Structure 1
Amino acid sequence: MTMILGIEDKYIFLVSGLIVSLLLSYKQLFILYNKYKKTTSAKASTKSSGKKSYSSSKDDPIPQPTPLMITPEQVANYDDRPWRPFRWPYHQTMSIFKLDVNHWLDMDKYYVHYIEEKKRIIHRYGDENIGWLPGSEDACLELMQFVKDHMLKRYPLLFSSEDNGIHVKNHLTGEILDFSEPLKEPPLIYVSKMAKEDFYLVKKNPEDDRHYLVAAVVPFPGGSFGIKHKLGKHLDVIHSEVPYYESKLKKSMERWFERMAPADLVERASWYISWDHKLLCNNVYALKEGEKVDSDVAPDQFNVRVERQTLRRLPKSQAIIFTNHPVFYSIDEMKDEPLIPSLIKKIIYEAPEGISKYKNFESFRDHIVKYLDGLIERQIELGLIKEDTPIKTLPSYPFAHFVDNKDVNYGWTNPTVKDPEKNNYIDVAKEEIRQDELREEMSKKTKSAEISEQV
């Protein structure tokens, strides 16, 4: 059927078409506007969350912690945030995130064990693990005050004072710390009795505008790091053994230190694998070059040691404080977390050569590969992953996927672990320390006997 339009009808048709076009254009503009709004809002949110934007002024207020009302009894079952810092592709970067001040000095069920082990290591090895240079006194004192204030504000049921901080009771250890002047002990000793973290203090030398290590208390280096020979050294010297530091990290680190304001707090995490829970020196770093893990070590003994690190600047001394807090996670406790076994296997076999050598992957990877393959196959059978699921950094990085399901008064517990006591390694760790001390004593006796025979 042919439709014949008159002149008036044609005008009406054209006007109607124009109105429809305008309405459609308006609708498209409205859709585009909403998309733009969402995009800019997301960008603003990312910026405010601070994942990659740190541009505080030196005059910005320093964030203060929020009280966490946990009791000493609750701490016995309290879990730290569950770190999973596994990345693929695996490139060497600073990989820093904005730090919530509430997590500057975290708490968990291993707190008392860490404090006791700090005392033992410092008493036994002294200046290998604690020291300070002339000129660092102001920074050490300021750090001590910062740690004390933080503990009193963040954990009011764990640390208390009735005389404005002159005496502070640590309700977890039962010790009363006396801060009256003159101090009874060096400031770094007080710090070690309050926080389970290791601390490094870095200051800029005005003569060359470069940053140097001026003080440190590091009972838990994990490997061969002794601070006695690092004090007074520039950051480049301290990090000389870190793979790709010169090409990937050097410029970023010095530039970051230069612009860092007291309101800028950041954190990051690195990791390696071992088959013990020693804080001073793990078995993987006790091996000589070319040595392999003992064949009788069960694959399910292996764990991931996460080195959780923070950076912040003290406002008065302008010292930069670097903290390190090791956390152990058994591979077994992560077996039901999608892709974790796959990521671990891929990294220990395909990481860049420098990283693989630095973390001594070759010493154990063939020993645990069948175990990892079994866990991967299990995840496929359970439907947690598919055979062709891409192996890549998880959306929840650098934490476990369940990190949002939490009650902060009881920590961040792994919902796949049915028996929490199974993951409490304190007794195992204490036995490892006892065995090491026995071996050390036997070695001393043997050397003494050999010297006597020679005489």
Structure 2
Amino acid sequence: MDEVLTGGFSRDQRIGDGVKAARYHCATAVKIFRKWLSSGGNINQGASALFLALLVLGTAVTFIIRRRKGKTRATRPSTPTAPRLEKGQPREFGKWTPSDFCMPTPEPYPDWSVESTKPLPYRPFRYGPNYNVTMGLRTLKHEDWIELDNHFPRFHADKSRRIAERGSKLCITAPEAYPAAVELLTELTEYLPARYPSLYKRTLVGLDNLWSGESFNIVSRPLPEDPMQICARLVQDDLAIMIEKPDGQYYLLAGCIVLPGFWRLTDKFGMPLSKIHTSGDVPQYKQKLEKGMMNLFRRLKPQEMVGRHNYFFQVDDDLGWSWSVGPEDSNVNGHVGWNTAEKGRAIDHHYFRSERQTLRRLPKSGGVVFTIRTYFHKIREVAEEDYVPGRLASAVRSWGDDVSRYKGKERYADVLLEFLDKKTRGAGCKGSRSQP
């Protein structure tokens, strides 16, 4: 990265030097022209000569600058077709040499409390008129891997209930992903007591949940339940692990997806990364997302962590499964969807559902861990925040047809936009002003 930045600054400096030189020569030409005029030269002939001189000079400078830019682009390394280890040596697809990287022990979350620490107010939408489909990745610190807040009791209760009711459909680990799942459990056991010491306490065999009274033994063999299921009980996130196979594709081979809202692990389990997204009709995945996502998975190092956010709307209050799109075990053309949802439900049934997703590679197994933390709020509550109603309404109106179908806009947009527009008018500038 430093080399790239240095190259960029060097290129900018060369371009700047060229512009300065052009200014100098132009100024010199003007002085000569003025001197020539004062000596009685013909104005028309002189002006023409000066114009041609400046035109030639400007063209030359532009050509030099573009040529230098072109050379810089040409020397940029091409995208590798095979992933690389931390030290840069190529490796075979489907094979991983364990890394000696250890995730840093995090500092305790400042003043964290299961009673009073509120969810962070992620609002991942922006004003229109254009909605751009991107991965929207940003770098994260390892200490910020897992976020817990005072919604933990509800998440814990909903997860416990759903695991008891349908755990075999929500939590699955393939044999080849079992070592990665155990590694993830070990990582969480180290991380959580350090980050949230008022909630978790490290023990000789695992950790204790000080709020619920649960004790988790991670060293007994066999483990009392699927390691992914134990992981899911510890956090508010849903969890998945992608494993690379010899064909270079990453496959969903371990997951505990308890609170997904709109999708089912059983529909996606065992699929490669691309098929997971295309089978779910993710807008513009092939055109704009697939190549970047494949490169991200292949290049991601254990030392790195990235995150992204998205948002949806839901017209019922069930955190685990949005029954408004159909029963969880229904089969509508091979999947469930918004086409079965009731249209035009009252605004009190509208919820804002956003996800904070993180990606990191496990150093020993090489599996890529995908965490999905859901934030779930009534639209009425979100719309009370300054500037949100206008920005959110503008964002919804900016969706293209493909994004609108994917997010189910046709089923709730009339009611939602009417409400947001009214809130915007009532709030004045605080309902519509742009946020930095």
The answer for the alignment partner of 2:412 in structure 1 is 364
**CA apart distance, 1:82:** 0.9
For the pair 1:115 / 2:156, whether they are aligned, the reply is yes
In structure 2, runs of 5+ residues without a counterpart are 1-83, 88-98, 327-335
SS in 2 for 1:112: helix
Q: CA-to-partner distance for each residue in 1:149-194, whole Å, 9 max, x for gaps?
A: 111111122111342xx04210121111122321222211221221
**CA apart distance, 1:291:** 5.6
For the pair 1:157 / 2:187, whether they are aligned, the reply is no
**Aligned counterpart for 1:316 among listed residues 364, 373, 383:** 364
- Higher deviation after alignment, 100-109 or 213-222: 100-109
Q: Distance in 2 between matches of 1:96 and 1:186?
A: 30
The answer for the alignment partner of 2:396 in structure 1 is 348
Matches within 5 A, 1:164-183: 166-182=205-221, 183=223
Cα distance change on mapping 1:184 and 1:370 into 2, 3 Å:
closer
The answer for the alignment partner of 2:233 in structure 1 is 193
Cα distance change on mapping 1:85 and 1:288 into 2, 3 Å:
closer
The answer for the alignment partner of 2:50 in structure 1 is none
Q: Distance in 1 between matches of 2:122 and 2:260?
A: 19
The answer for the alignment partner of 2:261 in structure 1 is 222
The answer for the alignment partner of 1:256 in structure 2 is 296
Cα distance change on mapping 1:289 and 1:385 into 2, 3 Å:
closer
Q: Is the 8 A contact 1:95 1:268 kept in 2?
A: yes
Q: Is the 8 A contact 2:141 2:305 kept in 1?
A: yes
Q: Distance in 2 between matches of 1:360 and 1:255?
A: 30
**Aligned counterpart for 1:65 among listed residues 92, 106, 115:** 106
**Aligned counterpart for 2:276 among listed residues 233, 238, 245:** 238
Matches within 5 A, 1:289-308: 290=339, 293=342, 297-308=345-356
SS in 2 for 1:384: helix
Q: Distance in 1 between matches of 2:297 and 2:134?
A: 15
Q: Distance in 2 between matches of 1:111 and 1:309?
A: 17
**CA apart distance, 1:293:** 4.0
Cα distance change on mapping 1:69 and 1:117 into 2, 3 Å:
same
Cα distance change on mapping 1:125 and 1:86 into 2, 3 Å:
same
**CA apart distance, 1:124:** 1.5
Q: Is the 8 A contact 1:133 1:231 kept in 2?
A: no
Q: Distance in 2 between matches of 1:149 and 1:264?
A: 18
**CA apart distance, 1:132:** 1.3
The answer for the alignment partner of 2:63 in structure 1 is none
Q: Which amino acid aligns with 2:325?
A: Y
For the pair 1:203 / 2:243, whether they are aligned, the reply is yes
Q: Is the 8 A contact 1:65 1:102 kept in 2?
A: yes
**Aligned counterpart for 1:247 among listed residues 257, 263, 287:** 287
**CA apart distance, 1:301:** 4.0
- Higher deviation after alignment, 57-66 or 150-159: 57-66
**CA apart distance, 1:123:** 2.1
Q: Is the 8 A contact 1:201 1:321 kept in 2?
A: yes
For the pair 1:269 / 2:309, whether they are aligned, the reply is yes
Q: Distance in 2 between matches of 1:259 and 1:350?
A: 33
Indicate the percent of aligned positions where both proteins have the same amino acid: 27
In structure 1, runs of 5+ residues without a counterpart are 1-54, 396-455
**CA apart distance, 1:237:** 1.0
**CA apart distance, 1:56:** 11
Q: CA-to-partner distance for each residue in 1:267-301, whole Å, 9 max, x for gaps?
A: 11111112333122225533965566465x43244
Q: Distance in 1 between matches of 2:143 and 2:206?
A: 23
Q: Which amino acid aligns with 2:134?
A: T
Q: Distance in 1 between matches of 2:118 and 2:257?
A: 23
Cα distance change on mapping 1:204 and 1:162 into 2, 3 Å:
closer
SS in 2 for 1:306: strand
Matches within 5 A, 1:270-289: 270-286=310-326
Q: Distance in 1 between matches of 2:241 and 2:349?
A: 35
